């Protein structure tokens, strides 16, 4: 039985990962400062004797004994990471330093949850891991984009300098149950607006594209990467390669919910990327990973989750 630390474990992705790791007979230490994570996402795990929750901020060192570390801690939606932009950068950078220090002391393998935002507003489409990106280093999104880029730098410096066993994944848009209804992300925004019969807000003309991966499949990719023993460090893209316009997403959600909502357009935010689609050739080759859940099917499950959430 491995003892596995999941930082950001009470968040959207982290809570699903904790549950999956427990089901696979691991001991899980979930740490989270609950800035965007929520206890309700993990409260059903509290009775499991192999699950432990610790309220902790990764910008401070942590001294525990673990075999593996998933470093997911960082607010991931613009509305949250721009709320305290300096702290967002600290979470990515100091969090990486502290978790890498823990891995160095314990000899643990450590996985960094990086992001497709390291590619910025890409000039190459779809985005392969070899692309260095087109990122504005002083924009309103750069606290997150550059924080994650710096975290990747630290991971590879610790790998080269200290021989730390690292894994780096770049996560593209992911959706599913346990999303925060107020996180400002496009899927949760549209679903909540549709279920409440409010206008669905599209920023820009709606022709910007995104690729959406269902959370269970993303978690599977994280675990496959952590378990890979072929000397593969990454970075590797994890995401669904099927591309949709934001307008198509809104129309699909209206159709599934049967909502009477109408679509309205507002100005596009600063530095919002026009295209986002992963090249997952490397994940297919190295991890034998490829998502198969269709967007419409995943949205149905996600909508049911939000229906129950809104009733409460």
Task: Quote the CA–CA distance of 275 and 95 in Å, as a whole number.
Answer: 29
Task: Quote the CA–CA distance of 144 and 117 in Å, as a whole number.
Answer: 8
DSSP states along 179-213:
--TTS--HHHHHHHHHHTTPPEEEETTS--EEE-E
| Segment (H or E) for 268 | none
Cis peptide before 270 (omega within 30 of 0): no
From the list 144, 158, 175, 214, the catalytic residue is 144
Contacts of residue 168, defined as CB under 8 A and 6 or more positions apart, other chains included, come to: 111, 112, 114, 152, 155, 156, 233, 234, 235, 236
Task: Quote the CA–CA distance of 186 and 202 in Å, as a whole number.
Answer: 9
Q: SS3 for 284?
A: helix
Task: Quote the CA–CA distance of 75 and 164 in Å, as a whole number.
Answer: 25
**Residue 305 bears catalytic tag:** no
Contact 12, 180 (CB under 8 A): yes
- 86: tokens are 């300096």
Enumerate the β-bridge partners of residue 7: 31, 71
Q: SS3 for 73?
A: coil
Q: If you ran DSSP here, which 8-state letter would residue 148 be given? A: H
| Catalytic residue set | 144
């Amino acid at each position: 039985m491995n003892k596995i630390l999941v930082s950001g474990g009470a968040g959207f992705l982290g809570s699903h990962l904790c549950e999956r790791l427990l089901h696979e007979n691991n001991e899980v230490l979930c740490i989270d400062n609950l800035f965007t994570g929520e206890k309700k996402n993990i409260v059903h795990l509290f009775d499991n004797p192999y699950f432990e929750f610790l309220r902790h901020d990764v910008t401070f060192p942590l001294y525990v004994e673990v075999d593996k570390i998933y470093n997911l801690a960082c607010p991931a939606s613009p509305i949250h990471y721009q709320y305290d932009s300096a702290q967002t950068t600290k979470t990515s950078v100091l969090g990486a330093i502290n978790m890498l220090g823990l891995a160095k002391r314990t000899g643990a393998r450590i996985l960094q949850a990086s992001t497709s935002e390291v590619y910025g507003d890409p000039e190459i489409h779809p985005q392969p891991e070899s692309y260095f990106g087109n990122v504005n280093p002083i924009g309103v999104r750069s606290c997150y984009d550059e924080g994650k880029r710096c975290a990747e730098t630290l991971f590879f410096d610790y790998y080269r300098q200290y021989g730390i066993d690292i894994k780096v994944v770049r996560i593209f848009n992911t959706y599913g149950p346990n999303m925060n209804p107020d996180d400002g992300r496009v899927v949760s925004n549209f679903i909540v607006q549709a279920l409440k019969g409010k206008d669905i807000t599209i920023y820009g003309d709606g022709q910007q594209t995104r690729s959406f991966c269902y959370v269970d499949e993303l978690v599977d990719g994280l675990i496959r990467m952590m378990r890979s023993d072929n000397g593969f460090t990454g970075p590797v893209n994890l995401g669904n390669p099927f591309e949709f316009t934001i307008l198509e997403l809104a129309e699909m959600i209206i159709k599934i919910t049967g909502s009477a909502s109408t679509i309205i357009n507002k100005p596009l935010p600063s530095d919002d990327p026009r295209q986002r689609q992963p090249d997952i050739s490397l994940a297919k080759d190295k991890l034998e990973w490829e998502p198969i859940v269709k967007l419409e099917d995943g949205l149905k499950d996600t909508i049911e989750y939000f229906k129950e959430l809104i009733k409460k």
